[in-house]
């Protein structure tokens, strides 16, 4: 019999699955041994444990001890959910079995935030009722439970009743503060920990570094790093990653790279943290260098790199990288889709944007409010009003940014009345507007010439919504009044601005002076712009146009001579258009496009047809020493009338074959 017991004990120790456990159970029955406690313990603790089988064995025990009840509670909390553990606890009380110091820690360990919030305080009362509140393990369980449901005040009250030399208890509080994003409290508590001479563990240091990263607290981060170096703390992979993340978040990329280069082992988190840090430090080339070296890339690293290109306005590179990601068989998430749609919006690449929308549907990417907002923005920036409306109407959830995207989108596409109506609907829906919303509303008033309404909205923005106008709002008002010819009031608004007017505000006034032929005020505006930006070639050209329109030829020649003396050149304007998935760039007069000969031939044909139809170009502002026919030719070579295509293959063209972008 003794030999059989030893063999069965060895079998229990080596048991790896429920099938093996059931065979061992059969052997115990044949041997006449009642080892039900062992059977239940394995059912509750094995990774492949089966609580149904544990319950069958448990039901054969006439009077289960508190140890067996605790084992069952532990199993329910781990495998079937903490709610079933609570039911087991209630049944234990009904059978007059009192809990001990292990019962509640097992029970609390599997709690979800909702369950903790629902019955946490009632179970706390039971802890007091059974006299277990002085147990360190029970106190830790209560701290964990209250931290889960965000009741950090209750957790703190229990914490200050505990035996505070236990670092595990301190870590529970630090973790709770981090979960609730109370990072200042994490730092404060770490200071208390030092005063109480409690030696931090590596878990403590990681939790504190996480708070430092969020707060960008370089001072405490360096203090933790010094502790690691001076106190012989073994620098684990998790700890080193936390240090890299802290330094990167604080903008100290050199220190982050020093740690990264010195690491014995690196995981995908290490690489991704370095890439993300370089992106946030605006070092996109360095980020790409490390990204290309990564032995393994996850969706987070791809997201960081694509987002980095978007931040740097490298929209073509973002789309190229997304194509590489597809080739690597990485499933994109909703964050990547938002970045790709943002790139399409800025490039005016409607066809690619439509492909992305179809891809989202086919691959069942989470189509949340952020994706919906990005789609609306993309459609509006590509001029597809109807599709933007359709997306808006199909969205089940709309936030402030959804409404704002509609207001701004309708305004920039010339649908002023609809934009204002959308804004009023937004207010009726009790959605609070923000600064960007009001930019859209004021722009709509500008395009529709609604001066009184614009004044009213500008006033309510301040009085009703407590939004302080920024330079963009003032610029909108100057544009609104300037277009209406009320230049005196526009100038007064600039003089009364609460911040320094920038070149855009003065440029708006200068443009209005050109339309309404006000050279004196134009000179003032131009002077202010050149004080802020002496190399702004567009100002000189616009001032020349104003002098020409007012027949002030002497002034015009002075300005042109001044431009030549200062070596000022106007940067040529360019336009973009997408055809068959390729974005082409238009630049006035350039002939580097591979199809330029055909383009210019077609352009000449269009010009002849326009003249035959009675079209007469306005050459009044082409103030250069050319014959009238040559002036007309200059207008025909405007960037919006020709397709320059690309000045270089690398920088000016998206070389995506349509077959590559099909949704397979």
State the pLDDT at residue 571: 60
- The pair phi, psi for residue 498, each rounded to 5°, is -85, -5
State the pLDDT at residue 642: 44
State the pLDDT at residue 79: 73
State the residue for tokens 């934009």. 419
| Alpha-carbon gap, residue 531 to 544, rounded angstroms | 18
Tell the burial category of 143 from Cβ atoms under 10 Å away from its Cβ (0-12, 13-18, 19+). buried
The answer to whether residues 528 and 537 touch, using CB atoms and an 8 Å cutoff, is: no
Q: Please give the average per-residue pLDDT across 24-49, as a whole number.
A: 74
Which is more confidently placed, 642 or 525? 525
Chain region(s) in the chain for CATH 1.25.40.10: 417-566
State the pLDDT at residue 450: 92
Write the DSSP assignment of 566-624 as a string of letters: HT--PPPPEEEEEETTEEEEEETT---STTHHHHHHHHHHHHHHHHHTT-----TT--S
Lowest mean pLDDT among 2-6, 290-294, 307-311, 485-489: 2-6
CA 549 to chain CA mean position, Å? 49
pLDDT higher than 80, residue 82: no
Q: CA geometry: angle at 298 spanning 297 and 302, to 5°?
A: 80
DSSP SS3 for 645: strand
pLDDT higher than 50, residue 247: yes
pLDDT higher than 60, residue 561: yes
pLDDT higher than 70, residue 31: no
Q: Please give the average per-residue pLDDT across 43-47, as a whole number.
A: 79
Q: Please give the average per-residue pLDDT across 147-152, as a whole number.
A: 89
Confidence tier at 78 by pLDDT (50, 70, 90): confident
Confidence tier at 287 by pLDDT (50, 70, 90): very high
**Of the candidates 648, 503, 662, 523, the residue with the CA atom closest to the CA atom of residue 587:** 648
- Residue 5 tokens read as 């017991």
Confidence tier at 654 by pLDDT (50, 70, 90): very low
**Of the candidates 423, 471, 417, 466, the residue with the CA atom closest to the CA atom of residue 444:** 417
Confidence tier at 343 by pLDDT (50, 70, 90): very high
Q: Please give the average per-residue pLDDT across 588-605, as a whole number.
A: 75
Which is more confidently placed, 619 or 597? 597
Q: What CATH number is given for 417-566 in this structure?
A: 1.25.40.10
State the pLDDT at residue 632: 46
Residue 199 contacts by C-beta under 8 Å, 6 or more apart in sequence? Answer: 167
pLDDT in tens, 399-451: 999 999 999 999 999 899 999 999 999 999 999 999 999 999 999 999 889 99
Q: Which of 10-19, 39-48, 268-277 has the highest mean pLDDT?
A: 268-277
**Of the candidates 415, 424, 347, the residue with the CA atom closest to the CA atom of residue 583:** 347
Chain-wide mean pLDDT for the chain?
Answer: 83
Q: Please give the average per-residue pLDDT across 244-273, as a whole number.
A: 92
- Residue 300 tokens read as 């987070």
Q: Please give the average per-residue pLDDT across 14-39, as a whole number.
A: 73
State the pLDDT at residue 594: 75
Which is more confidently placed, 367 or 446? 446
Q: CA geometry: angle at 546 spanning 545 and 548, to 5°?
A: 65
């Amino acid at each position: 019999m003794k030999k059989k017991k030893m063999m069965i004990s060895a079998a229990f120790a080596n048991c790896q699955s429920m099938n093996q456990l059931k065979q061992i159970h059969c052997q115990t029955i044949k041997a006449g041994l009642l080892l039900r406690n062992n059977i239940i313990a394995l059912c509750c603790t094995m990774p492949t444990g089966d609580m149904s089988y544990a319950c069958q064995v448990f039901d054969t025990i006439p009077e289960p001890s508190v140890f067996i009840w605790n084992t069952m509670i532990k199993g329910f909390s781990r495998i079937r959910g903490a709610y079933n553990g609570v039911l087991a606890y209630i049944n234990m009380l009904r059978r007059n079995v009192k809990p001990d110091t292990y019962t509640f820690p097992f029970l609390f360990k599997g709690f979800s935030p909702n369950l903790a919030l629902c019955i946490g305080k009632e179970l706390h009362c039971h802890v007091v009722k059974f006299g277990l509140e002085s147990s360190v393990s029970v106190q830790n369980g209560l701290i964990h439970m209250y931290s889960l449901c965000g009741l950090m005040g209750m957790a703190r009250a229990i914490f200050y009743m505990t035996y505070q030399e236990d670092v595990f208890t301190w870590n529970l509080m630090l973790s709770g503060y981090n979960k609730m994003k109370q990072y200042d409290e994490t730092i404060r508590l770490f200071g208390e920990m030092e005063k109480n001479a409690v030696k931090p563990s590596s878990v403590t240091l990681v939790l504190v570094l996480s708070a430092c990263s969020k707060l960008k607290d370089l001072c405490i981060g360096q203090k933790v790093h010094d502790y690691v170096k001076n106190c012989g703390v073994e620098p684990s992979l998790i700890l080193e990653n936390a240090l890299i993340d802290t330094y990167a978040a604080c903008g100290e990329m050199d220190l982050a790279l020093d740690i990264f280069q010195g690491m014995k082992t690196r995981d995908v988190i290490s690489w991704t943290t370095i890439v993300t840090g370089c992106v946030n430090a605006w070092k996109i080339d360095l980020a790409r260098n490390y990204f290309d070296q990564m032995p393994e890339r996850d969706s987070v690293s791809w997201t960081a790199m694509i987002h980095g290109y978007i931040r740097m306005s490298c929209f073509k590179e973002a789309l190229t990288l997304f194509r590489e990601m597809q080739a690597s068989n990485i499933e994109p998430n909703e964050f990547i889709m938002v970045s790709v749609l943002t790139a399409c919006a800025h490039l005016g690449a409607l066809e690619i944007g439509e492909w992305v929308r179809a891809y989202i549907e086919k691959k069942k990417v989470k189509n949340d409010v952020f994706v919906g907002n990005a789609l609306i923005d993309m459609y509006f920036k590509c001029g597809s009003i109807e599709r933007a409306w359709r997306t808006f109407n199909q969205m089940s959830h709309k936030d402030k940014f959804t409404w704002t995207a509609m207001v701004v989108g309708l305004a920039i596409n010339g649908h002023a009345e609809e934009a204002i109506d959308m804004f009023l609907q937004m207010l009726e829906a009790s959605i609070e507007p923000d600064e960007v919303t009001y930019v859209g509303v004021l722009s709509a008033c500008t395009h529709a010439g609604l001066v009184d309404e614009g004044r009213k909205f500008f006033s309510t923005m301040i009085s009703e919504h407590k939004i302080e106008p920024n330079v963009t709002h003032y610029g909108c008002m100057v544009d609104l009044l300037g277009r209406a010819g009320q230049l005196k009031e526009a100038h007064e608004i600039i003089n009364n601005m609460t911040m320094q007017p920038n070149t855009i505000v003065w440029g708006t006034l200068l443009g209005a002076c050109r339309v309404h032929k006000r050279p004196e005020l134009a000179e003032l505006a131009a002077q202010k712009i050149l004080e802020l930006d002496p190399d702004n070639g567009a100002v000189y050209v616009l001032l020349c146009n104003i002098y020409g329109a007012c027949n002030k030829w002497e002034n015009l020649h002075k300005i042109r001579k001044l431009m030549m003396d200062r070596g000022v050149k106007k940067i040529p304007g360019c336009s973009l258009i997408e055809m068959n998935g390729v974005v082409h760039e238009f630049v006035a007069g350039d002939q580097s496009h591979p199809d330029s000969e055909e383009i210019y031939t077609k352009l000449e044909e269009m010009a002849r047809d326009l003249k035959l139809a009675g079209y007469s170009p306005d050459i009044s502002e082409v103030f250069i020493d050319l014959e009238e026919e040559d002036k007309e030719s200059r207008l025909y070579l405007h960037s919006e009338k020709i397709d320059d295509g690309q000045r270089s293959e690398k920088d000016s063209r998206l070389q995506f074959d349509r077959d590559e972008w099909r949704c397979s």
